[in-house]
Structure 1
Amino acid sequence: MTLFSFSFIGPFLSTLIFCFIALSYSASLGAEEWGSPPIRPISSLIRKKLFHSIFLHKDDSACPAKNFYSYKSFIHASKHFPKFGTTGSLATRKREIAAFLAQISHETTGGWATAPDGPYAWGLCFKEEINPQSNYCDASNKEWPCYPGKSYKGRGPIQLSWNFNYGPAGKALGFDGLRNPEIVSNNSVIAFKTALWFWMTERKPIPSCHNVMVGKYVPTEGDIAANRTEGYGLVTNIINGGLECGIPGDARVDDRIGFFKRYAKLFNVDTGPNLDCAYQKSF
């Protein structure tokens, strides 16, 4: 006498097969249908063709950074910052990438008003500051002391400058920023990493550019009083507000906005509000 009927096995196996198929199907469905989207790499949002459409002239012979800023280096560097371009809705992710690329384009632009393809097609033309006015050493900063004979001038996509930025960037990314700042303009991956480090890093009371662009910025009473409202203009304030913000019609701010508008269009996403910082006080 058997302990159970063999006739039970058929429906039992059928149930198991059905469950397996259902689980496999659910795993393959889009993020929007199941509420917890998988983290996709930014390479799914900015492919090589789009990258080169954005930076049409970065490898022209007229650009000192010719063949330095490669798509491969950008994608490789972005993997060090897994929240970049992967936070929020699809539109938010695209907008953040476009905003980042727009800001680094302004910092490294080789464009001019009548340039071929327009002034906003010449980002990533430079990899280091030309004719710096100083060695950008803040001797009063004892935590990140300058190394004799070194210049902390602008280098890389974000034009990282000053010893108090090179020091912590190097510590976070695994290079000696104070003794070997030149590596930022000699190593393409490290160059992109420094730009992304600056973008992603909060420096209280200054928020990170990332948090501003993905809607995680919480203004303080001081921010509200200073009219520092969420948007691309606030990112400009974080990057260079002391020189550019609080000045209606500033050409540098307009240039940053011009890049962002072009890139947002290429990403098929809106720019969002508050593009300038004309009436914001700097941090």
Structure 2
Amino acid sequence: MLKKRFVTLLTTAALVTGLAVAFGPTVSSASTATTASTSCETATDWQAGTWYPAGSIVRYNGSYYRAEHENPGYDPVISHWFWHPHNCGGGGNSGGGGENPNPSGFIVSEAQFNQMFPNRNSFYTYSGLVAALGSYPGFTTTGSTEVQRREAAAFLANVSHETGGLVHIVEQNTANYPHYCDWSQPYGCPAGQDAYYGKGPIQLSWNFNYKAAGDALGIDLLNNPRLVETDAAISWRTALWFWNTQSGAGHMSGHQAIVSGAGFGESIRSINGSIECNGGNPGQVQSRISTFQRFTEILGTTPGGNLSC
């Protein structure tokens, strides 16, 4: 919860046993693929539970993927460390070497998003998130593919923590609602004293944050704060605004924390500062870290260092 008054991601070679928990299928002794295809001409359709040696090429939903590492039939769209999209001369997805194969252009596929948030509120749509990406083109496109995926995992892990797994749209403690109006601001609280409670993926709160986010996004959120809980794209845009531009209660934005290598812990600090960091609430910090590590597994990247604050 953004309670501070400020305007302003398993290693790559993760254990197969751990990843089997995250990605589902287990190898079957009756389904080994020791003669798996290594060319597009003889590629077969991918099958869950089939063992694929490194170099295997499969078809998946009309596109081709090459196994960069042997695996027991992990989903090519979800398991990006094991599979890369493969260019078959126009016969499938172009762009090997870890490039983003997702039709949306976002480094997180819809299947991965759904895996991260199996119980999410229908308000938090994948399409709403994708629609919001244009506001901050540097988000998950800066640095190496490893860093890009790490940033996505970091952002979504913090979002998950703030909303109970993308379940809650608004702050659950209604007694706090009147507390987020700073009458010392010259513009006051035109939507009412109790209108600026936490809303959306990052639980945006305080009248001055609504004013600043609205000004940055070209939306009058000061007068219409409920847009953050009624319009999915706007809601995601406010979260991306904070993540990409605001240091909040910390020293840098979440985006800067990840792309600079400062670490996931600094992204926690920007969101909740001493409320969680410096011993404020180590249990909550560990909860964020655990979610982050789980999401990096799903995205096939590494969490980096400095996970705590």
Gaps of 5+ in 1: 1-27, 59-65, 110-122, 217-229, 278-283
Say which is worse superposed, 130-139 or 179-188, in terms of deviation.
130-139
User: Higher RCO, 1 or 2 (CA under 8 Å, sep at least 6)?
Assistant: 2
- Tell me the CA shift for residue 29 of structure 1: 8.7
Against the structure 1 CA distance between its residues 148 and 47, is the aligned structure 2 distance closer, same or farther, given a 3 Å change threshold?
Answer: closer
Return the letter of the residue paired with 2:172. Answer: I
1:145 counterpart (188, 193, 204): 188
TM-score normalised according to structure 2 size: 0.63
Q: 2:256 aligns with which of 211, 225, 230?
A: 211
Residues 241 and 273 of structure 1: CA distance in aligned 2, closer, same or farther (over 3 Å):
same
Q: Which residue of 1 aligns with 2:115?
A: 53
Instruction: Tell me what 1:119 maps to.
Output: none
C-alpha separation in 2, matches of 1:160 and 1:44: 23
Matches within 5 A, 1:11-50: 43-50=105-112
| Residues 214-254 of structure 1: CA deviation (Å, up to 9, x unaligned) | 117xxxxxxxxxxxxx2111110011013111117621111
Q: Paired residue for 1:179? A: 223
SS at 1:181 equivalent? coil
Asked if 1:92 corresponds to 2:147, the answer is yes
> Stretches of 4+ moved more than 3 A in 1?
28-32, 40-44, 202-206
Cα deviation 1:89-137 (Å, max 9, x = unaligned): 000000000000000000000xxxxxxxxxxxxx100100112324201
**Which amino acid in the other structure matches residue 169 of structure 2?**
K
**Cα distance in structure 2, aligned partners of 1:131 and 1:165:** 19
Q: CA deviation at 1:188?
A: 0.4
Matched-pair contact (CA < 8 Å) for 1:42–1:86: no
> Alpha carbons of 1:29 and 1:268: their partners in 2 closer, same or farther (altered >3 Å)?
closer
Residues 29/259 of structure 1: CA separation in 2 closer, same or farther (3 Å cut)? closer
TM-score by length of 1: 0.69
* Aligned CA distance change for structure 1 residues 159 and 90 (closer, same or farther; 3 Å): same
* Contact 2:191–2:225, Cα closer than 8 Å, also in 1: no
Cα distance, 1:264 vs. partner?
0.6
Contact 1:152 1:163 in 2 (8 A): yes
2:260 equivalent to 1:198 = no
| Equivalent residues, number | 215
2:132 is aligned, of 67, 70, 77, to: 77
For the pair shown, which has the larger CA radius of gyration, 1 or 2? 1
8 A Cα contact 2:247 2:254, kept in partner: no
* 1:62-141 alignment runs, 5 A limit: 66-109=121-164, 123-132=165-174, 133-135=176-178, 136-141=180-185
Q: Which has the higher strand share?
A: 2
Change (3 A) 1:102 1:189: same
